[in-house]
Amino acid sequence: MSSRCAGLQRDGRRCGAYPIRGEEYCLWHSPDHEEQAKEARRLGGLRRKREKTVAGAYDVTGLSTVEDIRRLLEIAVLDALGLDNSLARARVLITAAGAAAKLLEVGELQARVQALEAALRARGEKWSSPAA
């Protein structure tokens, strides 16, 4: 029994997925699991379609910037505010307030660093970020 699937990808390379326990193929290549793989593909397509629809409806583009995260937090807070008063609602709002405070802090620090970098560039000094 191989530690990797014995199936081949479309380009002829060997599949790198782990096989189903006790078999030589992964779910996607197993002849005994064709129906399960087909259903998984169908559900994956539906999820991606729904994801695009919801992202468009809520104007969410991702979570890679402070603005993206702020938008998601706004949606969560507005949805929570529309709920009946309850302990769970209060917890959501308190948690959201804490996250918003942290987000404001990060956004402010980001703006300050950008202003410092711009000032250094204006003076002709080079600045290299420690992360670079």
Per residue in 79-112, pLDDT tens? 999 999 999 999 999 999 999 999 999 989 989 9
Contact 17, 4 (CB under 8 A): yes
Range with the poorest average pLDDT among 39-48, 60-69, 122-131: 122-131
pLDDT value at residue 109: 92
pLDDT given for residue 49 in this prediction = 82
What is the C-alpha separation between 93 and 83, in angstroms, rounded?
11
Cα separation, 50 vs 53, in Å, equals 5
* Backbone angles phi and psi of 30, in degrees to 5: -70, 120
Give pLDDT tens digits for 46-62: 778 887 887 787 788 88
- What is the C-alpha to C-alpha distance for residues 55 and 91, in angstroms, rounded to an integer? 25
Closest CA to 22 of 8, 1, 4: 1
**Tokens of residue 42, six digits:** 């169908």
d(CA 90, CA 65): 27
The pTM of the full predicted model, rounded to 2 decimals, is 0.52
Beta bridge pairs of residue 14: 8
User: How does pLDDT run across 14-38, given as a tens digit for each residue?
Assistant: 998 898 888 898 888 998 888 888 8
